[in-house]
Amino acid sequence: MFKVVLIKGDGIGPEIADAVVKIFDAAKVPITWIEKQAGLNVIEKHPTGIPEDTLEAVQQYKVALKGPTTTPVGTGHKSVNVTLRKSLELYANVRPAKSLPGVRTRFDNVDLIIVRENIEDTYGGIEHNQTADVAQALKLITRPGSIRIAKYAFEMAKLYGRKKVMAVHKANIHKLTDGLFLKCFYEVAKDYPEIQSSDLIVDNTCMQLVTNPERFDVLVLPNLYGDIVSDLSAGLVGGLGVAPGGNIGDDVAIFESVHGSAPDIAGQGIANPTALLLSSFQMLQHIGLHQTKARIEKALIETLKDGIKTRDLGGKAFTNEFTQAIIDRLENP
Ligand code: NAI
Ligand code: MG
């Protein structure tokens, strides 16, 4: 039995987390959930939104599945996710964008993975006013940070049999910072001769992603470009309801959907659990349960092919109907 920390979060979090738990139960996945709190429901007592024991459990068990958590605006509360990322050194944000049958988009065969550096770049919060009218932010890129994200991308590519890894950057303008990122990328690439390595400037990448996304495989990017390009890529395959992600460090990994707590639809039983389920597939691969992942994935694809979809994807199914449809399509191991 594997032990995995489950943080249901708030808003639609508990609804979609319960759906995943039900599907895992039905599929007899050998995981024991260690349930912990984070988000709005604990924010009165814990201004960070994360109680100590939640953080400790994630450190102890190393793997977590997390539902979305609300960040109150204008109250000085930090984002739970930023806190987790920084305190646990989750330096790789991995977001696959893969076309799903039955989910109508402009492209049929997108299958790419965004590997975003999750700590450096302009996200260190090093920002100040020089005068009332001049503000400045620092873009921080380091050799160790760039080497480890490039290594992560190539190792991941190797593990999943991917053929190409591309660095995305703006080294023509940011010659020193993005230049260092790119230099490190090619240094690491030398150790992976079986994988094709290349690079592309970020604006050109965006243009090609919206015209010809099927040519892309694994992309590795500094934080800011990664943030933007990963949302763009999610849009290529159906948007937030189907966009999964993982925040991964050397020691700990937290898997969660890209979308937030969707307060506008919380409690109505209509949330799409697919993004969290796809995140749980990343988690199953991470812990080595590849066959279990394939079995549940097949049931999800059959469900979508049969036209059973939640409203965000143009269907009529409620969360529990969609969940049951997946369970009904699970084959025996
Ligand atoms: P959101 O992603 O929660 O919602 C945007 C729109 O997409 C809404 O109309 C929502 O109903 C819809 N939507 C999102 N997920 C859906 C799903 N699974 N099924 C069906 N429809 C779905 O973004 P928003 O409204 O900007 O943020 C709400 C809260 O979530 C904020 O407090 C924000 O800080 C937080 N947030 C948390 C994240 C996390 O915990 N990882 C990530 C992003 C936002
Ligand atoms: Mg973002």
Compute the Cα dihedral for 319, 272, 95, 126 and give only its sign: negative
Same domain? For 256 and 231 the reply is: no
In a domain, 332, yes or no: yes
Give the per-residue pLDDT at 252.
97
Give the per-residue pLDDT at 8.
98
Residue nearest to atom 23 of ligand 1 (CA): 260
Instruction: Give me the CATH number covering residue 187.
Output: 3.40.718.10
In a domain, 97, yes or no: no
Domain hosting 39: range is 1-92+243-333
Give the per-residue pLDDT at 313.
94
Same domain? For 126 and 226 the reply is: yes
Amino acid of residue 203: D
In a domain, 99, yes or no: no
Nearest bound ligand to the CA of residue 114: 2
Residues within 5 Å of ion ligand 2, judged at the Cβ atom = 227
Same domain? For 86 and 123 the reply is: no
Same domain? For 127 and 232 the reply is: yes
Residue nearest to atom 39 of ligand 1 (CA): 68
- ipTM score for this prediction: 0.98
What's phi and psi for 176, nearest 5 deg?
-80, -50
Q: Which residues line ligand 1 (CB under 6 A)?
A: 12, 16, 68-71, 81, 240-241, 256, 259-265, 271-272, 275, 312
Give the per-residue pLDDT at 186.
98
DSSP tag of 222: -
SS3 186: helix
Give the per-residue pLDDT at 76.
67
In a domain, 331, yes or no: yes
CA of 228 to the centre of ligand 2 (A): 6
In a domain, 112, yes or no: yes
**pTM surpassing 0.90?**
yes
Q: Which mutation among 42, 256, 261, 319 tests ligand 1's pocket best, with the greatest number of atoms within 8 A of CB?
A: 261
Beta bridge partners of 317: 310
Residue nearest to atom 25 of ligand 1 (CA): 262
Q: Considering 217, 236, 255, which residue would you say is the last residue of a domain?
A: 236
Same domain? For 130 and 164 the reply is: yes
Same domain? For 284 and 310 the reply is: yes
Same domain? For 13 and 82 the reply is: yes
What stretches in the chain show pLDDT beneath 50? none
| Domain total in the chain | 2
How do beta strands 111-117 and 92-98 pair? antiparallel
What is the rounded CA–CA span in Å between residue 274 and residue 281? 10
User: Per residue in 267-282, pLDDT tens?
Assistant: 999 999 999 999 999 9
Which residues neighbour 178 within 8 Å (Cβ) at sequence distance 6 or greater?
Answer: 141, 169, 170, 171, 222
In a domain, 98, yes or no: no
Q: Considering 220, 236, 252, which residue would you say is the last residue of a domain?
A: 236
Same domain? For 230 and 260 the reply is: no
Same domain? For 78 and 116 the reply is: no
In a domain, 279, yes or no: yes
User: Per residue in 231-258, pLDDT tens?
Assistant: 999 999 999 999 999 999 999 999 999 9
User: Per residue in 51-101, pLDDT tens?
Assistant: 999 999 999 999 999 999 998 776 667 778 878 888 899 999 999 999 999
Give the gyration radius of the chain's Cα atoms: 20
In a domain, 101, yes or no: no
CA proximity to 218, closest of 182, 163, 165: 165
Same domain? For 112 and 179 the reply is: yes
Same domain? For 23 and 140 the reply is: no
SS3 92: strand
Which residues neighbour 288 within 8 Å (Cβ) at sequence distance 6 or greater?
Answer: none
Q: Considering 236, 254, 272, which residue would you say is the last residue of a domain?
A: 236
Residue nearest to atom 13 of ligand 1 (CA): 262
Please state, for a pLDDT cut of 90, what percent of the chain lies above it.
89
CA proximity to 314, closest of 104, 100, 15, 19: 104
Same domain? For 112 and 225 the reply is: yes
Give the per-residue pLDDT at 43.
87
